[in-house]
Amino acid sequence: MTTLLHPQGVRVRSLTWTPWGASPVLDAVDLVIEPGERVLLTGASGSGKSTLLRAIAGALENYAPGDLSGKVLIGGQSPAERHGGAGLLLQNPRDQVVAGSVARDAAFAAENIGLSGDPLHALVRGNLASVGLGGLPLDRRSTHVSGGQGQRLALAGLLGLSPEVLLLDEPLSMLDPAAARAVQSAVLSLVDTLGASLVVADHDLETWWPHVDRVVVLEHGRVRYDGTPGGVLTALAGQEELWLPGLPPPPTTEIDWTAAPRPRAVPGEEILVADEVSYRDRDSLRLPQVSIRLELGRGHALIGPSGSGKSTLLRLVAGWYPPTTGALRLADWVQAGTRRPPHRWNSRRLAQTVALVGQVPSQGFIASTVIDELLKTRRLIGRLRDGDEARAVALLDSVGLGSAGSRHPQTLSGGEQRRLAVAAALVAETPVLALDEPTVGQDRASWATVAGALRHAVSCGSAVLAATHDRRLVEQLDAVTRLAPAGTTPEDIS
């Protein structure tokens, strides 16, 4: 492949973005990224990282209504004029699905720059293999891959674009350690081959530390630090929000929410049993056979490589669909005299029993303000009490969303949306909480908040089941179940 020369690189000048009805998310940002430079973009949750990546890619004005001023230039042209100049991997890879199958999705970008026939087929297979998806059936529906596989699929599509600048938003956040290493290696190899610039938004400095030339730290939409990786340790010493290399996990945050007493629930009681359950759809075996037991007042981690069925098991627990084999049983007092399995329950009973936080929390939001979203399930299942709104305001403050109560949930950053969803699950006061990657997109301080919320739910007597690749979170929970894809050996999380 021919090395590309991009003598002007990326120029960001006085860039300001203010969503309608909110404070500026980007505030007069100036940034120069030289050709071939590798930049780590970091900062606290909500500091503007994802917004800046979208602006460089020319996608910001299509993302949300707001006022944009300043300039972005790639190779001396605007992103709209520089077709294929920037390749953007979004924080939620499902937002980038454009075709019905894995092969078509991975080929889309390359097709749009004129590649076809055997060269296209070879490129697609090579790109899928480079991100660890070489064994995935090419005809698999693109909507039927796991979150981690979706990240790699979106990246494989970007590789076909041969961009001048590669913009990656939390590219390793949903991957198991082996897949993360493979994807990082593929990214670094690509930018070396192309001579392309790389901008990675990530909270975890240690992962990218040896591989970048610069670190740019955003704070409230402004550049707080722009310099060498080594210099950031001195410049930001004592900064609580950032995962600086060598820092241990912080103490979990105390959560301001007192749950109502739960009649008939006994701490340590078995609340849910899944006996040899599996799930197969028309495409593939999504969850190989597994057994799991959840107890009240205990936290349970669900780990395993991407595609091993973690999200599928959570949805079975939440009654989304029936298992193909095996059975799910809940404690008699929860079933209230019925022996029907959860997938046969009505929505109200399910919502009273299991609070599910999905991998993309924003897809579950139904209210027009953050405070209403926090209390919506509680209101719908008849648990709203006098004083709950005041308690909810205090809870928002303890999860770092104290100033966001009147905002629309869809205007929050990805990390803020996840904290809102976790807080709403806590407020529902269900005996079971099922959470999919609850710490993705969290800085060090907000990680402590999410971990604190889960520990608080456990202390209030709930059974917590969290699917995660986060070793730090696993250490906060009481038990671990390890899954693996069909026909493979379970991988260790370390």
Question: In sequence order, what DSSP letters do the residues of 170-183 get, joined into one string?
Answer: STTTTS-HHHHHHH
Architecture label for domain 270-482: 3-Layer(aba) Sandwich (3.40)
Closest CA to 420 of 432, 410, 434: 410
What are the structure tokens assigned to 447, written together? 């990680």
Stated pTM of the model: 0.85
What are the structure tokens assigned to 215, written together? 């670190």
Average pLDDT over residues 202-225: 91
Question: H or E segment at 376?
Answer: helix 370-380
List, in sequence order, every beta strand (DSSP E) within 331-471: 354-357, 432-436, 463-467
Q: Which of 88-102, 192-206, 279-293, 462-476 has the lowest mean pLDDT?
A: 88-102
How many Cβ atoms are within 10 Å of 258's Cβ, its own excluded?
10
Equal CATH topology for 10-235 and 270-482: yes
Average pLDDT over residues 442-464: 94
- 405-421: per-residue pLDDT in tens? 999 998 888 889 999 99
- Residue 192, pLDDT above cutoff 50: yes
- 321-332: per-residue pLDDT in tens? 999 999 998 888
What distance in Å separates the CA atoms of residue 294 and residue 434, rounded to the nearest whole number? 11
Q: What integer pLDDT is reported at residue 336 of this predicted model?
A: 65
Average pLDDT over residues 36-61: 91
The residues pairing with 18 across neighbouring beta strands, listed in sequence order, are 67
Q: What integer pLDDT is reported at residue 136 of this predicted model?
A: 84
| Radius of gyration, CA atoms only, the chain | 23
Q: What integer pLDDT is reported at residue 263 of this predicted model?
A: 55
Q: What integer pLDDT is reported at residue 6 of this predicted model?
A: 47
What distance in Å separates the CA atoms of residue 60 and residue 244, rounded to the nearest whole number? 29
Determine contact, residues 95/147, Cβ cutoff 8 Å: no
Query: Among all chains, which residue has been given the structure tokens 């059975």?
Result: 327
Q: Sketch the domain layout of the chain as residue ranges.
A: 10-235, 270-482
- 140-188: per-residue pLDDT in tens? 888 788 778 888 888 888 887 778 899 999 888 888 888 888 888 888 8
Q: Would you tell me which CATH number, out of the four given (3.40.50.920, 3.40.50.300, 2.30.22.10, 3.20.19.10), belongs to the domain 10-235?
A: 3.40.50.300
- Residue 358, pLDDT above cutoff 90: yes
- Residue 61, pLDDT above cutoff 50: yes
Q: Which of 261-265, 281-285, 362-366, 425-429 has the lowest mean pLDDT?
A: 261-265
Q: What integer pLDDT is reported at residue 2 of this predicted model?
A: 36
The residues pairing with 41 across neighbouring beta strands, listed in sequence order, are 201, 216
Q: What integer pLDDT is reported at residue 353 of this predicted model?
A: 92
Q: What integer pLDDT is reported at residue 262 of this predicted model?
A: 61
pLDDT-based confidence at 491, cuts 50/70/90?
very low
Question: H or E segment at 127?
Answer: helix 117-130
Closest CA to 301 of 309, 288, 310: 310
Percent of the residues in the chain that have a pLDDT greater than 90, as a whole number: 48
What are the structure tokens assigned to 470, written together? 């986060």
Q: What integer pLDDT is reported at residue 258 of this predicted model?
A: 82
Average pLDDT over residues 57-71: 85
- Residue 284, pLDDT above cutoff 70: yes
What are the structure tokens assigned to 104, written together? 């078509």
Long-range contacts of 370-376 (CB under 8 A, 24+ apart): 370/396, 370/401, 370/404, 370/405, 370/406, 370/407, 370/408, 370/409, 370/412, 370/420, 371/396, 371/405, 371/406, 373/409, 373/420, 373/424, 374/420, 374/423, 374/424, 374/427, 375/427, 376/424
- 465-490: per-residue pLDDT in tens? 999 999 999 999 999 999 977 655 43
Determine contact, residues 25/82, Cβ cutoff 8 Å: no
Q: What integer pLDDT is reported at residue 490 of this predicted model?
A: 37
What distance in Å separates the CA atoms of residue 355 and residue 422, rounded to the nearest whole number? 9
